[in-house]
Structure 1
Amino acid sequence: MASIDAVSLTVLLGAVLVLAGILSSLIAMRFGAPLLFIFLIIGIAAGEQGIGGIKFNDVSTAYAVGIVALALILFDGGLRTRMTTFRSVLGPAGLLATIGVLITATIVMPVASYMLGLGWIESLLIGAVIASTDAAAVFFLLHAGGLRLRPRVGATLEVESSTNDPFAIFLTIMLVEILVKGGGGTASWLKVAGELSIEFVLGGVIGVVGGRLIVWVLNRLDLPQGLHAPFVATGALVVFGVTDLLHGSGYLAAYAAGLVVGNRPTRAHNTVITFMDAVTWLAQIVMFVILGLLVWPGRLPETLLASAVIAVTLMFVARPAAVFLCLQPFRFSWREKVFVSWVGLRGAVGIFLASIPLLVSMPKATIYFDVAFVVVLVSLLVQGWSLTFAANRLGVSLPRIDTAPRRVELDLPGQLEQELVGYAVTPNSLFRRQGLIPSWAKLMLVVRDERVHSVEEAGPIREQDYVYFLAPPEKAQALDRFFVNAPAPASPDSRLLGDFYVPGDATLAALAEIYGVDVPSDERNMTLADFFASQIDHPVENDRVHLGSIELIADRVTDGRVITVGLDLVDPEAKEGELTRAQRVNKAVDDVLRQLGFKH
């Protein structure tokens, strides 16, 4: 009976800790506190040296939980990344996720060696452990802070934080192997480079194949209702496990599989998204709390000064150097580079990687763990809480008029192309004020006074109605902007497309594809910002240039470069009243937002 009671007590304590983590998210959202910091503090408080007094030193269990959690988090990151977004920032994000991690670890190395008295490879291991940015921390703080970043900046940060973990994990494991088995000569490093290449190729290939298999099963097999989402989550872990057994990068495979599944039409798409959202939240909470339980606060002062110096070096030297070097070939302004440098948030991945030396019982293993823990806390407290301030001061955020409206999505069995999407009609929404709605969204039902009406029965839409549209699943989220309850601008420009803008780094080819305008082949890859610069020496706000039948209006200009562009589609030869404003934008407006990388 005693053993049964012990198991029951363990389950109870674990459930209470997870429940505390879930409820603490309300505090984090209310005060903008870094969520990871809250979870770690709960774990520390519950630990052997905290008020909970729980004795936990099972590094193997923590490592296993971390593997599962990271695989699910990376899969979910891929699931939510649009392929167009991924392709548009693959160059800068890819360099940051690989070369950037190596540069960061290398710069940290001499500082760690001097402050901790470690050898060069041991010091490089310190750098590798803390070199990658944390996707969970980046996503949460950007969303909790209410930030709407310039499209390319936001996309670069999201893709980099989702893809740099595989490189950091591989580098850490290779350095641990060299330290445990000996070596470190030229032959060893050449072997590391060769194995790294193989791991990345295997991870990418198996991830894509695994993602397609998941899509095939979802769409071809008639799974019982409610099992689609668990199947996808389990499939992600299978892809990770198979890749890892074949000595590929399981983490890269998980992200690639999510990217494939998220960009293909599937059954129960919205159910899968909702389920994965809950699963990744739970995975983060469990992982962070367990890592917090492993921390011994009484041991931290031994390396506190060295850890603080390493954290400052990381934030103010190593990360900025990596960002400025990796983004040099791309057209990022210095303000954007500074902001990307500041969003080098460290999180659970660093602490998780620091547990590997503990797992293999390396000498001085506790040093890696303690340093990583302090660096993560400093990063979250200093960078995490100042994220919104930095974005506003550097001018890389766009105005956010309001939070997204509550959206209801209903799958329609028997087909994959359409779903029902519902919203409440608010007085200050674009749909209510101007009647704007994309052509691919067809109004089907109106709920008024707790009764369901057809479109014909309902007549004109009123405030407080609930409207349901038939729309493609991949475009459903784009409808949110039409139902945000935001006041109309004080002095709107009647020649702009309502409240819609596109980023200056959108290409002429993208506009040509959508609107059918002719663009010379040698200018198709030119961005709108570069096109403005070629037409006007020093563009300022409200400058206008023509591109075929489209008039481009410089909306926001920073340091002489056009950042956001308004579009005017009015045909100068059209008769007054021939086309309504809603008709002019009806067909193309959301395709512009989606294909040109607009984030809302």
Structure 2
Amino acid sequence: MAIDANSFIFLAGILLLVSILASSFTVRVGLPLLLVFLGIGMLAGEDGVGRLDFDNPNLAFFVGNLALAIILLDGGMQTKTSTFRVALWPSLSLATLGVVLTTASVGTFAAWLLDVKLIYGLLLGAIVGSTDAAAVFSLLRNSGVKLNERVGGTLEIESGANDPMAILLVVMLTGLLQSSEPLSVLAFLGQMGQQFAIGGALGVLGGKLLLMVLRRIPLVEGLHALLIIAFGLAMFSGINMIGGSGFLAVYLVGLTVGNGRIKQQEAISQVMDGLAWLAQAGMFLLLGLLVTPSSLLTHGWQAVAIAAFLIFVARPIAVILCLLPFDFRWPERVYISWVGLRGAVPIVLALYPVIAGLSNSELLFEITFTVVLISLLLQGSTVPQVARWLKIEVPPAPAPITSFSLINDADANRSLELYEFLVQADGVRIPSTILHNVPSETVSTPQLVSLIRNQQPMVVDAQTELKSGDRIWMLLHPGDVNDVAQIFSQKASSSFLLQNFFGEFAIRGDASLIDLAKVYGVPLDGIDESDTAAELLQRQLGKHLVVGDRVRFGNIRLTIRQMNGGEIEVIGLKLQNN
């Protein structure tokens, strides 16, 4: 039934409004927000209360790709390049070899279970073979759990980088089903190399060009985010047209811009987050409308079996094999395996065979949709619980709540930013070095700008005691932020999680190991005079260390508490019961 423009806009607004309002309920019960948008779309569809008959896979495919480009752009902007130090190669291993292994195992199992040709099974395996960026970014950042940098970085980079491999496999297998030509391994490898090379190189170059434009061309406040979106979408489609991976390129554009120093960073981030949420909501609502829920029951038990095989067999095997060369603890590997979330990407990929008009395409789409539902319900709703069960949760580091860039420079010591900190403990005093600092042309130490209490500015002197809820505005170099944030955060001794995780005491990374051994009664065998606590951690855990890594040293436990680049600065010390 055709509807006019006003009716369409009204229905779209109502669906989006209901989805957003329902999201508050899902937060309380621990369900993924994306599941709400998908569910509202299904309820509004032809089998639901809305009775809307939507059957346009081409439109859904277009909207899905558009939304995924925006989501990847925003995800790249929120990923810190520091995570590449410990997560780049494991992520690339999972994004390439991991997708191939998942495709092969799920494909073989599905072909046997569904009694179809192996190539159809492999096509299904390729469709569900990649994790979903929208689901992973959303759940990791809204679950309330802080993961160590190695695990969180691996999951985020993998989800942003594995789409090219999955798309390449789906396109190749769909093409094979449409023609009688045999598979050429060399042609496949060549196309894969082309996709990654063009998408990777042009994505980085495009990000640097966009960063230069943002720094040098004055724009009205609200246009910066729109410029980034427009540039990202142009890069996405343009690189796709010349044979590269637009998904990889747009992620790298976001990564480059997000880690650059621009004055409008905070305002841009807020607008980009809103646009990314709109893209996710619209995409999942449309995909929910596209499916006919009653048709999912036709092959319901087979879809459940394939989802179970993917979650409990295929993904764990792929993760274990891909992470063998890297220094991951077993709880970390189990968690990475569990957070292999499927979302919009598999559903969009399942539209390839539908649009191509392949036989069994409806079967592939329905099974894919069911697999995604099960993944979001089972895995998505247990992200924080499994992290706590496996004991890989890390207490969040103190951080400012707002920042504004005033002076941009490649050298962090010459850049200057205005930060807002929330005071989290009563009785804290501002250090005299900050309080009595006189503003000058060159800021060498942190400068106090203002203290806000109960929405009113306060006069600050040496006797002023801060109260929980106060807001402090400081002028700082970016390199001083972590140290200043510690001043206004809740003291470690009053936080059970901090004390239980890091320990009762803090020592420097260069603390003498032999002195520690003497104080705590640890045998001195094999300890040299020059050995330090940081060297012990590096020797036992490898090169790529992150906050939260720990070792046992006699009757004490040493946990990395603060790092600067790849150097260990502060270590937590906790006495252990023998």
Same fold (TM over 0.5): yes
- The match for 1:460 is 464
Aligned to 1:307: 303
Q: 2:506 aligns to what? A: 496
Shift of 1:334: 2.0
Further displaced range: 404-413 or 164-173: 404-413
Equivalent residues of 1:425, 1:466 under 8 A apart = yes
Residue aligning to 2:210: 214
Report the equivalent of 2:440.
Answer: none
Structure-2 separation of matches of 1:256 and 1:168: 18
* Cα deviation code 1:458-516 (max 9, x no counterpart): 8635214321012356986896665445771467967416xx999xxxxxxxxxxxxxx
Matched, 1:256 2:232: no
Q: Deviations over 1:505-546 (max 9, x none)?
A: xxxxxxxxxxxxxxx9xx99x975342579xxxx964659xx
SS in 1 for 2:450: strand
Aligned-partner Cα distance in 1 for 2:485–2:374: 36
CA distance 1:442–1:367, shift in 2 (3 Å): farther
Question: Closer, same or farther in 2 for the Cα pair 1:385/1:131, shift >3 Å?
Answer: same
TM-score (norm 2): 0.82
Aligned to 1:561: none
Specify the alignment match of 2:180 in structure 1.
Answer: 182
**2:571 equivalent to 1:565:** no
Question: Residues 72 and 247 of structure 2 are in contact (CA less than 8 Å); yes or no, is this contact kept in structure 1?
Answer: yes
The 2-side partners of 1:220 and 1:32 are apart by 44
**Cα deviation, residue 337, structure 1:** 1.3
Please list, as runs of the form range in 1=range in 2, the aligned pairs for 1:104-123 lying within 5 A after superposition.
Answer: 104-123=102-121
Structure 1 position 159 matched with structure 2 position 157: yes
Aligned equivalents of 2:122, 2:432: Cα separation in 1: 59
Of residues 45, 49, 52, the one that matches 1:51 is: 49
Superposition pairs for residues 402-441 of structure 1, below 5 Å? 407-412=401-406, 417-427=415-425, 441=446
Pair 1:121–1:533, CA change in 2 (3 A): closer
| Displacement after TM superposition at 1:44 (Å) | 0.3
Distance 1:532 1:287, change over 3 A: same
Q: Tell me the distance in 2 between the aligned counterparts of 1:358 and 1:174.
A: 15
Contact 2:46 2:53 in 1 (8 A): yes
List per-residue Cα deviations over 1:222-275 (Å, max 9, x = no partner): 112221111111111111111111111000000111111112112311111111
Alpha carbons 2:164, 2:195 under 8 Å: kept: no
Q: Using the alignment, how far apart are the partners of 1:154 and 1:308 within structure 2?
A: 28
Counterpart CA distance in 2 for 1:60 and 1:336 is 40
Counterparts of 2:279 and 2:567, CA distance in 1: 30
Measure the CA separation in 2 of the matches of 1:175 and 1:302. Answer: 25
Cα shift at 1:441: 4.3
Return closer, same or farther for 1:399/1:212 CA change in 2, 3 Å cut-off.
Answer: closer
1:239 alignment counterpart? 235
1:364-375 alignment to 2 at 5 Å?
364-375=360-371
1:124 match:
122
How many residue pairs get matched? 526
Separation in structure 1 between the aligned mates of residue 300 and residue 276 of structure 2, nearest angstrom: 32
Q: 1:132 to 1:527 in 2, by over 3 A?
A: farther
Matched, 1:74 2:69: no
Equivalent residue of 1:443, what SS? Answer: strand
Which one of the candidate residues 27, 30, 34 is aligned to 1:29?
A: 27
**Kept after mapping to 2: 8 A contact 1:423/1:467:** yes
SS at match of 1:113: helix
Give, as a single letter, the amino acid of the residue that structure 2 aligns with 1:488.
S
Which residue type is aligned with residue 139 of structure 1?
A: F
Distance 1:273 1:207 in 2: 20
The answer (yes or no) to whether the contact 1:84–1:597 under 8 Å persists in 2 is no
Structure 1 residues 485 and 250: alpha-carbon distance in aligned structure 2, compared to 1, 3 A threshold: same
Q: Given the alignment of the two structures, is residue 345 of structure 1 paired with residue 341 of structure 2, yes or no?
A: yes
Equivalent residue for 1:83, pick from 71, 81, 84: 81
Contact 1:443 1:455 in 2 (8 A): no
Counterpart Cα distance in 2 of 1:459 and 1:439: 24
- The aligned residue for residue 389 of structure 1 is 385
Q: 1:282 aligns with which of 278, 282, 304?
A: 278
How far 1:344 sits from its partner (Å)? 1.0
CA distance in 2, matches of 1:533, 1:411: 37
The answer as to 2:534 corresponding to 1:531 is no
Of 136-145 and 204-213, more deviation after overlay is shown by: 136-145
For structure 2, which runs of at least 5 residues remain unmatched after alignment?
A: 435-442, 511-527, 543-549, 572-578
| 1:359 equivalent in structure 2 | 355
Identity %: 36
What residue in structure 2 maps to residue 584 of structure 1? none
SS in 2 for 1:98: helix
Q: Which residue of 2 aligns with 1:554?
A: 557
Q: Are the equivalent residues in 2 in contact too, given 1:265–1:474 (CA < 8 A)?
A: no
Partner residue of 1:469 out of 474, 478, 498: 474
The verdict on how the C-alpha distance between 1:254 and 1:378 changes in structure 2, with shifts beyond 3 A counting, is same
Listed one character per residue, the Cα deviations across residues 561-586 of structure 1 (whole Å, up to 9, x for unaligned) are xxx235xxxxxxxxxxxxxxxxxxxx
Question: Which of the residues 292, 295, 301 maps onto 2:291?
Answer: 295
Q: Is the 8 A contact 2:425 2:488 kept in 1?
A: no
How has the CA–CA distance of structure 1 residues 414 and 90 changed in structure 2, closer, same or farther, with 3 Å as cutoff? closer
Contact 2:316 2:334 in 1 (8 A): yes
Report the counterpart of residue 558 of structure 1 in structure 2: none
Q: Matches of 2:291 and 2:474 in 1, distance apart?
A: 51
Q: Which segment is superposed worse, 404-413 or 206-215?
A: 404-413
Moved more, 176-185 or 260-269: 176-185
Q: Distance in 2 between matches of 1:225 and 1:594?
A: 38
**Contact in 2 for aligned 1:478/1:590 (Cα 8 Å):** no
Residues 217 and 10 (structure 1), Cα distance of their counterparts in 2 relative to 1, 3 Å cut: same
Alpha-carbon offset, residue 361 of structure 1: 1.9
Match of 1:196 in 2: 192
Pick which of 475-484 and 238-247 moved more.
475-484
Give the secondary-structure state (helix, strand or coil) at the position aligned to 1:422.
Answer: strand
Give the deviation of 1:286 after TM superposition. Answer: 0.4
Residue 447 (structure 1) aligned with residue 452 (structure 2): yes
**Matched residues in 1 for 2:445 and 2:165: separation?**
41
Partner of 1:268: 264
The answer to which of 309-318 and 380-389 deviates more is: 380-389
Q: 2:366 & 2:43 partners in 1: Cα distance? A: 16
Which residue in 2 is equivalent to 1:229? 225
Change (3 A) 1:152 1:413: closer
Gaps of 5+ in 1: 503-519, 545-552, 556-563, 567-588
CA distance in 2, matches of 1:123, 1:24: 36
**Residue 142 of structure 1, CA deviation:** 2.8
Between the aligned partners of 2:292 and 2:570, the Cα distance in structure 1 is: 45
Is the Cα–Cα contact under 8 Å of residues 72 and 233 in structure 1 kept in the other structure? yes
Whole-Å separation in 1 of the counterparts to 2:333 and 2:235: 35
In the alignment, the residues of structure 2 paired with residue 440 and residue 262 of structure 1 have an alpha-carbon distance, to the nearest angstrom, of: 26
Q: Deviations over 1:19-53 (max 9, x none)?
A: 12222221222211022221111010000111001
- CA-based RMSD of the aligned residues comes to 3.5
User: 1:222, 1:267 → 2: CA distance?
Assistant: 11
Contact 2:509 2:568 in 1 (8 A): no
Q: Does 1:63 align with 2:66?
A: no
Partner of 1:323: 319
CA contact (8 A) 1:59 1:355 kept: yes
Structure-2 separation of matches of 1:44 and 1:474: 49
Q: In the aligned structure 2, how far is the partner of 1:133 from the partner of 1:79?
A: 19
SS of 1:148's equivalent in the other structure is: coil
| C-alpha displacement of 1:140 | 2.7
Q: What is the identity, as a one-letter code, of the residue corresponding to 2:506?
A: L
Give the Cα separation in 1 of the matches to 2:44 and 2:284: 12
